[in-house]
């Protein structure tokens, strides 16, 4: 893998994901009527939580958000205008759809960038894909925990982490087929976002240990 090209592409790629995840954190934080500091904590942890855990696992220093302070400033800016963002989307009937879409973009971008950076650190394929999934879902998990919600990654039967896992392998396949790094990054991200949104739109569910309804004949 061309490390120079990766280092040039990932910051641009990740910026979109950070904004998307920060927005999803803002949407949820404003919905819970928490104060501005709380909104920032939720937005920051959503945007950077997965990346921090990724950097710990692959021993990457300095942490990504420390090395790219502009992204932290962008998060501050998003939180500063959060009331206007919230009012804008609250006036629309599909506000929840925008939240889901922003979350899907963050998932797609961070799953692929996490996989890319792990591959660049000479981590094996399977472990790289798993680290990519962790990068994509951990920020949302932190967001839900801070807001005292059951994390969607473990409670939502609509495929979420599994979408990121498939997308990571799809990304590796594109690289192995000789597609350029830039095209592989974007196509891999679009694959995950498209698959996640399809799961939501068509109500695809994972049927696993679902409780069976039954009638108690002894009562």
Tens digits of residue pLDDT in 143-163: 888 887 777 676 666 788 889
For 15, the enclosing helix (H) or strand (E) is helix 3-31
CB neighbourhood size of 86 (10 A): 17
Which residues of the chain have a pLDDT value below 50? 213-219
Q: Supply the pLDDT for residue 218.
A: 43
pLDDT for residue 214: 42
Position 7 scores a pLDDT of 56
Give the single-character DSSP code of 217: T
The whole-number pLDDT of residue 216 equals 46
What pLDDT shows up at residue 170?
95
Residues contacting residue 64 through CB under 8 Å, at least 6 positions apart: 14, 48, 51, 52, 54, 55
Structure tokens at 120: 């660049």
- Count the helices and strands in the chain (H runs, E runs): 10, 0
């Amino acid at each position: 893998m061309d490390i120079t090209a990766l280092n040039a592409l990932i910051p641009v790629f990740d910026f979109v994901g950070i904004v998307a995840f920060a927005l999803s954190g803002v949407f949820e934080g404003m919905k819970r009527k928490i104060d501005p500091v709380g909104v920032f904590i939720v937005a920051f942890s959503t945007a950077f939580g997965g990346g921090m855990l990724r950097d710990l696992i692959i021993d990457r220093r300095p942490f990504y958000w420390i090395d790219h302070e502009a992204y932290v400033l962008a998060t501050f800016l998003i939180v500063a205008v959060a009331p206007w963002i919230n009012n804008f989307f609250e006036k629309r009937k599909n506000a929840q759809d925008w939240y889901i879409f922003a979350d899907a973009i963050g998932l797609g971008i961070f799953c692929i960038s996490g996989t890319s950076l792990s591959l660049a650190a000479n981590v094996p394929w399977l472990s790289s894909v798993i680290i990519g999934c962790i990068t994509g879902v951990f920020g949302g998990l932190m967001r839900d925990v801070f807001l005292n919600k059951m994390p969607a990654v473990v409670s939502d039967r609509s495929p979420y982490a599994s979408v990121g896992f498939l997308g990571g392998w799809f990304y590796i396949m594109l690289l192995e087929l000789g597609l350029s790094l830039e095209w592989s990054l974007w196509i891999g991200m679009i694959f995950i976002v498209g698959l996640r949104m399809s799961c939501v739109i068509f109500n695809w569910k994972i049927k696993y240990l679902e409780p069976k309804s039954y009638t108690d004949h002894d009562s």
